[in-house]
Structure formats: structure tokens, C-alpha cells
Amino acid sequence: MEFMVGLLPGLGDTELAQMAEDLGYSHFGVGDGPILFGDPFVHLAVAARTTQAIKLGTMVVNPVTRIPPAIANAHATLQGLAPGRVFIGIGAANNAMRSLGMPPAHMDELEDAIRIMRALLNGERVQYSWRGRTVEIELLDKAGTMYDISRPIPIYVAAGGPKSLDVAARTGDGVVYSMGCNESLVKLVRREIDASAESAGRDPSSVKLISLVWWRFRRKGESVADAVRGGLGSALISTCVNRRQFLLAHRGIFEPELVDDVVRLSRAYLGAQREKAGAHLDVWKSYVREVGDRFLPLITPRIVDSFAIYGTEDECLEKLARMAAAGTDAFVVFLSDRGRFREDLLDFSRAIIRRWPGCVT
């Protein structure tokens, strides 16, 4: 089992990749949000110089705030610093664009971006449309002095709703899907991936299901509300917003109360961003920092149980094992409590990675 780690980068986080490598994590992924976090490629360039084996990449970029040729170039340049250790994570920019007060990418934009990036990274010439004009482009440095496209760079596609899941399964090397220990959801997502991959003439086993998990070990005397305030809240809100359409499309599989909880929270959060000019900034400035009293009551225990890994160390280990048995191929362990990134990296490695069957770290 691969345990990847993901984070939303800040100025004090540049040494975390080396720490993650030492603790047995397989991948180090950095998020992207132009007004939310630090720049991912600055952090990844530093990580390339301080690590030797861990894989490095974005988790995730998008085709709206960065055009596909620029994304391909940035990762190929990173590969020049960390040969054979680079991956691309890409999605529709739900957080990156909503925080700007703009809608996320359309699915045809996402699919086209993946087509363009894959062709460029394969050294091919490809048609590219921008601002109403279509031309042919390619990465022109074939000598490898500017960037490195001599090695494959896998593309992992973050999905939420039914359409993005279909795009991800047809085009990606892996599908990144945020969920907790809801075995029905894991199995359903795996079935959907298999069906879409087969429809595209692909071997379903070639497409990894990468479960992105927001997690927290229960601390002494802590309530669920404390955990939500301590970092899980923003992550769960974002997950519900991004999963709402998928749950509605498969409503009969899930508890009706869970679907209702997700819809209620999503509508409240999205509605708050449209109340007045600049309201989106007021909502997003608290992302992964705190959850206000307005949304806290809407994050129910059902939502926590379904979309986060929360409990004692033994309970979290057991939940992750059940997710693996249901069809998860790899985990992205996302850090959510900014004040505890180092402690959480260490605690998860000690309590989960080193106790996982077959662990060799």
C-alpha cells in the first residue's frame, strides 16, 4: 500500500517533504490555490533538493488558473530536479476558483487539458486552443537542457461528481477521490472507474483508486465538534460540496439522512458566497483555519463518519484497512491542522504506516 501525504503549503512547510520521506510516505503532494496558499512549485523545487526517493507533485493543480502547457512545463522542469520522481495531480479547481468567486473548470476543459499535457510530456505535437485560436504546440527542447520529458510522468485526476469521475477514469493513471470509511462509496467509485475505463478501451486495473482522506486521531477529552473546529471542518465542507452531485445521482445506495446532510451543508456554504459582493472572500479566508458557528451545526456526525478518518489510532487503522479491502489502491493522507503538521506526519507514520501489513519502513 502506498501512503501519500498532501498539504496546503505555507512558508514554514518547506522541510516537510524530507520528513515525510524519512517516515515512509511514498509521495509528497502540494495543493494549489492562488489566493489561498503558497505556490506549489516553489515548495516542490525545494523538496527536490532535500529528498532522494519520495515522489513529488501537485495535489492538485487545475487548467484554469494555469494553462496546460505551463502545467506540463512546470512538472517537466521539476523532473529535471528529481528524475523519475514526479507526478501530476490535476482537478477542476473547486477550491482554487470558488475562492476567487469564479466557477470551477468545465469537464471538457479538464479532459482537454489532460490530453494536451500527456501529448506534450510524450514529446508529441498537439493541437491547442486558446482565446478562440487553435494552433499546434510541442515542448521544443529535445536535448533535456531546459526540462526533462525522457521519463513518464503519471497523471492523477481528482474527481467529485459523476462527470469528473468519468473523465478521470478514462484519462488518468489514477483517480483521486476524497472519502472516509464508507465502504459502499469506495465500492461504488471503484465500479464507476472500471466501467468508464472499459468504455474507453482501457484495462480497469491500470487505473488506481487513490482515496484522499482527511483524518485526525481523537485526543483525550475531545468531542467531534472539537475535531471539526481543529481542522476537519473546512475539509469536510469542501468534500460535501464536491460530492453532492455524485451522492444525489446514486441516492438509493446511501442513507437518505446522509444525502440530506450533504445537500444542506453544500447549499448553505455555496449560498453564503453569493450573499453580497466579496462574500466569497469572507467565507474562504477561514478555509483550513476555523469553522464559524454558521456552518458548525451542519457538519453532522454522519458526515464526519462518512468523509473523514477520525477515532483512536486503532480505530483509524481498522477503518483504513476496510477501505483497502473495499478497493482502495493508495491513500493520500491530507494534513488539516496547520499547527500540528509535523506531529501529525509523525503520528500517522508511527500508528498506521509502520503497523500496516507488509510495511518495510
Distance CA 352, CA 162 (A): 31
Model confidence over 146-190: pLDDT tens digits?
A: 999 999 999 999 999 999 999 999 999 999 999 888 899 999 999
Distance CA 361, CA 282 (A): 43
Q: What is the pLDDT of residue 135?
A: 98
pLDDT at 361 over 60: no
Q: What is the pLDDT of residue 285?
A: 85
Average pLDDT over residues 118-137: 98
Nearest to 245 by CA among 166, 191, 149, 320: 166
Model confidence over 246-298: pLDDT tens digits?
A: 999 999 889 999 999 999 999 999 999 998 899 999 888 888 777 878 899 99
| Residue entry with cell 477529552 | 221
Q: What is the pLDDT of residue 65?
A: 97
H helices present in the chain, as ranges: 16-22, 40-50, 68-81, 94-98, 107-121, 162-171, 183-199, 224-227, 233-249, 256-272, 279-284, 301-307, 313-326, 341-351
For residue 337, how far is the Cα from the chain centroid? Answer: 16
In one letter, which amino acid is 29?
A: G
Domains of the chain: 2-220+309-355 (3.20.20.30)
Q: Which pTM does this prediction carry?
A: 0.95
For residue 126, cis peptide bond before it (omega within 30 degrees of 0) = no
Q: 76-80, 83-87, 138-142, 274-278: which range is least confident on average?
A: 274-278
Burial class (CB in 10 A: 0-12, 13-18, 19+), 43: buried
Contacts of 318 (CB under 8 A, 6+ apart): none
Q: What is the pLDDT of residue 360?
A: 59
